[in-house]
Chain A
């Protein structure tokens, strides 16, 4: 398996524009997570899904952020409108719950810069 695939790897956009980050989890995994990493706040869990259903979105910073998982092999994180403070590295991860031997695998991340 190619692992968790995120696209794009880098995104530069102007303030006010809509940004969509994409994630393809590992095939067969039933959990998908979105994280954000910044120097100031470190790594934060934004939202996670189980079997395509959002379970906990309490980490989503505000209404400008939305995430969807239309099927088991694809998820998006959208920011509309984007602001400079959204600049960060966004990670997607997936896992398969296997009764105690579960491991979340991370993608390489998308580095977002909002100017």
Chain B
């Protein structure tokens, strides 16, 4: 079955510390992978996506993600978290139309000072 798993429901990180949000997927075809961020009461904003090529993908706001086919993972990282990064983060798998077909349940990031 096709699915996206984000094992961590809630993570708290100190401001300035590094961050890694985990994502594992199960998808029958070539995966197109996405990370979105959602602030309270807002829509989703694309942080980055992986379609092909270099497995380390750079996104906006200093985020990056690494695609590891052997582990079926697409973890999101940031070297130094800012208070404004507090939000909910969604990993998704989809197709080349930019369609995020299946979303993970999301990880809520809190940033402590």
Chain A residues engaging chain B, CB cutoff 8 angstroms: 4, 31, 33, 42-45, 48, 50, 91, 93, 95, 97, 100, 102-109
Task: Give Cα A100–Cα B92 distance, bound, in whole angstroms.
Answer: 16
**Interface set, chain B 1-46, CB cutoff 8 A to A:** 36, 42-46
Report the bound CA distance from A45 to B36 in whole Å. 15
Contacts A100-B52, A100-B96 hold; do A43 and B42 have CB atoms under 8 A apart? no
B104: nearest chain-A partner, CB-CB:
A42
Known: A43-B90, A108-B43. A33 touches B103 (CB 8 A): no
Contact indicator A104/B100 (Cβ below 8 Å): yes
**Does any Cβ of A come within 8 Å of B79's Cβ?**
no
Report the separation of the CA atoms of residues A97 and B96 in the bound assembly, to the nearest whole angstrom.
7
Knowing A33-B99, A43-B103, A97-B98, say if A106 contacts B52 (CB, 8 Å): no
In the complex, what residues of A have CB within 8 A of residue B44's CB? 43, 91, 93, 106
Query: Chain A contacts of B103 at CB under 8 A?
Result: 42-45
The minimal Cβ–Cβ distance linking A47 to chain B, given in whole angstroms, is 11
Alpha-carbon distance A31/B106, docked complex (angstroms): 24
User: Are A42 and B46 in contact, with the CB atoms below 8 A?
Assistant: no
Shortest B75–chain A CB gap in Å is: 19
A38 to B73, CA, bound (A): 25
Identify the 7 closest CB pairs spanning chains A and B, nearest first. Answer: A102-B98, A106-B43, A95-B98, A43-B103, A104-B98, A106-B44, A42-B105
What's the Cα separation between A104 and B95 when bound, in Å?
11
CB-CB under 8 A from B99, the residues of chain A are 31, 33, 45, 48, 95, 104
Chain A residue numbers with a CB within 8 Å of B106 are 42-43
A79 to B7, CA, bound (A): 33
Q: Is B100 touching A45 in the complex (CB atoms < 8 A)?
A: yes
28 contacts between A and B (CB under 8 A): A31-B98, A31-B99, A42-B104, A42-B105, A43-B44, A43-B92, A43-B106, A44-B103, A48-B97, A50-B97, A91-B44, A93-B44, A95-B98, A95-B99, A97-B96, A100-B51, A100-B52, A102-B97, A104-B46, A104-B98, A104-B99, A105-B46, A106-B36, A106-B43, A106-B44, A106-B45, A108-B43, A109-B42
